Amino acid sequence: MIIDQEKCIGCKLCQPYCPMGAIEYLEEEKKCRINLDECVECGICLRPDPCKKGALYQQELDELRLLRQVFSNPLVPHKTTSVPGRGTEEMKTNDVTGRFKRGHAGVACELGRPGTGTRFKDVEKVAMAVAKVGVTFEPHNPVTALMVDNTTGKLKDEILNEKVLSAIVEFDVEIGKLSEALTAIKNVAPELDTVFSLDLACRCEPDNSVPAEEIARSVGFRPSINGKTNVGLGRPLAEEE
Ligand code: SF4
Ligand code: SF4
């Protein structure tokens, strides 16, 4: 996003709309300017149309700015998944997708939030930490598409400093290795310059226990159990193999 310095009158009406604090007021010039290093191209400032001077506008985006946009603007779909926003299908619908089989767990590490965002160097730290455990990264996830090697979790060097609102590292792991994978995330957490939340998905056992919950607790996380019922949505439950 750009502010045309010729047209801006410094009224600051656009400033409160930015969730990243990227719209700066320049005292000397008495105008606003976008800090492009912090701007994630989410487009939120433009939607309420606050600028009556026509100073705030969406510039033509190069490849790296487009990358920021697809991870930050929920109205722009990813090429890799055709899903808007962070671009992953929901893990919560595992009862109909059957993506995660019995004996496996699905894990999503959601890095960044409005106000903090995340840079891909932090996304890479998490991906490389869990890759060492031997996880399988979700192929229809836009972060996986940015890996140069999905056995190591290494991302393309040229994107590491790019900042986005949020990005999700998503993988399948054998339940026997879940503890190790969660410990790897816990160990790398102090090195991250952002916040994250974890989503875990697994099949319940016949006695209603939830293996992933118990393992997460044993590692020191405090999971909150959520169910998602898809009865009535017209999709049959996934068959167990
Ligand atoms: S609303 Fe427009 S004129 Fe006012 S500070 Fe923002 S860009 Fe400048
Ligand atoms: S595009 Fe998003 S991050 Fe950039 S200035 Fe506008 S609201 Fe802020």
Instruction: Specify if 67 maps to a domain.
Output: no
Are 101 and 215 found together in one domain?
yes
Domain count, the chain: 2
Residue 32 β-bridge partners = 25
**Per-residue pLDDT, 105:** 93
Are 1 and 35 found together in one domain?
yes
How far is the centre of ligand 1, averaged over its atoms, from the C-alpha of 12 (Å)?
Answer: 5
- For 125-170, the pLDDT digits (tens) are 999 999 999 999 998 889 999 999 999 999 999 999 999 999 999 9
Are 204 and 128 found together in one domain?
yes
The one-letter amino acid at 230:
N
**Per-residue pLDDT, 238:** 73
Q: Which residues of the chain have pLDDT under 50?
A: none
Q: Can you give the pTM of this predicted structure? A: 0.91
**Per-residue pLDDT, 96:** 74
Is any atom of ligand 1 closer than 6 Å to the C-beta of 26?
no
**Per-residue pLDDT, 112:** 96
Instruction: Specify if 83 maps to a domain.
Output: yes
Instruction: Specify if 239 maps to a domain.
Output: no
Are 54 and 105 found together in one domain?
no
DSSP β-ladder status, 147-149 and 196-201: unpaired
Instruction: Specify if 19 maps to a domain.
Output: yes
**pLDDT cut 90: percent of the chain above it:** 73
Query: What is the number of the ligand closest to the CA of 37?
Result: 2
**Per-residue pLDDT, 45:** 97
- For 207-227, the pLDDT digits (tens) are 988 899 999 999 999 988 876
Is any atom of ligand 1 closer than 6 Å to the C-beta of 33?
no
For atom 1 of ligand 1, the residue with the nearest CA is: 51
Are 134 and 51 found together in one domain?
no
**Per-residue pLDDT, 58:** 95
Are 150 and 210 found together in one domain?
yes
Choose which residue among 1, 2, 3 to substitute to test ligand 1 binding: the one with the highest number of ligand atoms within 8 A of its C-beta: 3
**Per-residue pLDDT, 139:** 86
Are 17 and 134 found together in one domain?
no
**Per-residue pLDDT, 178:** 97
**Per-residue pLDDT, 107:** 94
Query: What is the number of the ligand closest to the CA of 50?
Result: 1
Are 85 and 199 found together in one domain?
yes
For atom 4 of ligand 1, the residue with the nearest CA is: 11
DSSP secondary structure letters along 221-235: ----------TTSS-
Are 107 and 209 found together in one domain?
yes
CATH number of the CATH domain containing 104: 3.30.70.1710
Are 83 and 198 found together in one domain?
yes
**Per-residue pLDDT, 159:** 97
Domain, as residue range, for 195: 78-219
Ligand 1 nearest atom to the CA of residue 32, by list position:
5
CB-based contacts of 231-237 (< 8 A; 24+ apart in sequence): 233/96, 235/96, 236/96, 237/95, 237/96
Query: What is the number of the ligand closest to the CA of 51?
Result: 1
